[in-house]
Amino acid sequence: MSATDLTDLGVVEAAGLIAARKLSPVELTEACLARIEALDGKVNAVLRLLPERAMDAARRAEAEVARDALRGPLHGVPYALKDIIDLAGVPTTGHSQIRADAPPATAHAPVADRLERAGGICLAKLSTWEFAVGGPSFDLPWPPARNPYDLERTPGGSSSGSGAGLAARFFPAALGTDTGGSIRNPSAACGVVGLKPTYGRVPLKGVLPLSTTLDHVGPMTRTVADNAAIFEAIAGHDPDDPTSAAVAPQNIGAALGKGVKGMKIGVIRHFWERDGIAEPEVAAAMAAALDVYRSLGADLVDIELEPLPNYVACLKPIMAGEAYALHRRILATSANAYGALARDRITAGASQTTAEYLDALEVRRKLEAAYRQSMQGVAAALTIVTLAPPPRFDDAEGLARSFSLEGRPPFNIIRAPALAMPMGATKTGLPLSIQVVGHHFDEATVYRVAQAYEAETSWTERKPPL
């Protein structure tokens, strides 16, 4: 294979070829590093490239293959981490001046440790919005990531480098985090697959927090099967993490390929037809995607959740209150070291009362209970990720909209699994995305529903014109 062909490989395919001794982990890692070196000057997805670490790991992986001593299902497969996730021996900057000189992390975050134990090879730490909230920003030590489909447009946030790097074929897998949509927004903007798991399914320990009751870590890949493989590697209870849920794992792989014939699937139509009005190309793509599901034998039924603005109104005081509590001491002495957007968004919690925060928590409890009621009788549901394609960096109004009334925040409040995946493109080639959501701790059905659509379409095969 040429170097370009190697960087097109996904997680499952690469792992299979390595296990069969048809692909060298060294050659695959070299190809990914070379592509990053050649193209990241345009994309800005990478904050810290780790070539020596990655090549050492690749050589070890290759020697282990020769001894029939594969470490796990991801043996020899490259991945990258959003730079709010700890990797031992490497600083975690949060894309902030405040942590630009942070010492190296002393231990892996559990999610990074699980990927390493499964045989993964970390290539890089990736761009993010500052502390996963302030962006896209041009007043930080590193520039913001750009969208490989149009370099003048945002790749979404806050897991911006994860989405942009995947689309650019820098690596086949990455981890992102999602507090109000920060895995699903860049997944939608960059035409990749991203899962926000059920809250508690994946440990948060070793990840810079933004809002500890809303934060989620999840996988980002280019296909559904690849996403499921990374999810299975990182999911599971961590007794040292108070946010981690002690629930039995699912056999995700067994759910893939079963299709959706006879499955009752909800459609949360009012999110894009009443609560917010989707741009025509988004609405048309949603209609076409629903037709695909009907052609596959799914029984689609409209379901009603609470109005979309109710979730946004609930999320903002929780996020602002928790973020301000985490940052207040640094703000007291070093407020000017933050970028303007992060500072403004975090300090929004300063004037908030305890009563307002507690009221929002009670509203969240009711919204989650209402969701469980609305989902009775359906296996999963479909809705939008965004109301519009990714905006340009110079479109202040579009950037503001993408941070507020969208289809992502409800599922952080509800804390149920939600997956974004490609469903088409605009006339100018920008990615469009559909969201599959499910019952708490039922990621298997979400993946099943998503994979059925992916198998019938070719949207996950699209590549940006880099």
Looking at the annotation, which residues are catalytic? 82, 158, 182
Paired tokens of 168: 């650019």
How far separated are the first and last CA of the chain, in Å rounded?
20
Largest CA distance in the chain: 62
User: For 300, what's the count of Cα atoms within 13 Å in the CB-facing half-sphere?
Assistant: 18
Sheet holding 418-425, edge to edge: 46-49, 121-126, 78-82, 173-177, 217-221, 193-196, 418-425, 431-438, 380-384, 264-267, 299-302
Paired tokens of 381: 């549901």
Reduce the DSSP state of residue 88 to 3 states and report it: strand
Q: Rounded distance, CA 312 to CA 333, Å?
A: 31
Reduce the DSSP state of residue 36 to 3 states and report it: helix
Q: Rounded distance, CA 325 to CA 127, Å?
A: 24
Paired tokens of 62: 């290759």
Let me know: does 171 contact 32? Beta carbons within 8 Å: yes
Let me know: does 192 contact 163? Beta carbons within 8 Å: yes
Paired tokens of 249: 């794992």
Supply the angle between the helices 443-456 and 224-234 in degrees, to the nearest 10: 160
Q: Rounded distance, CA 190 to CA 464, Å?
A: 9
Let me know: does 122 contact 79? Beta carbons within 8 Å: yes
- How do beta strands 217-221 and 299-302 pair? unpaired
Please give the DSSP secondary-structure letter assigned to residue 144. P
Q: What are phi and psi of 295, to 5 degrees?
A: -65, -25
- How do beta strands 264-267 and 299-302 pair? parallel
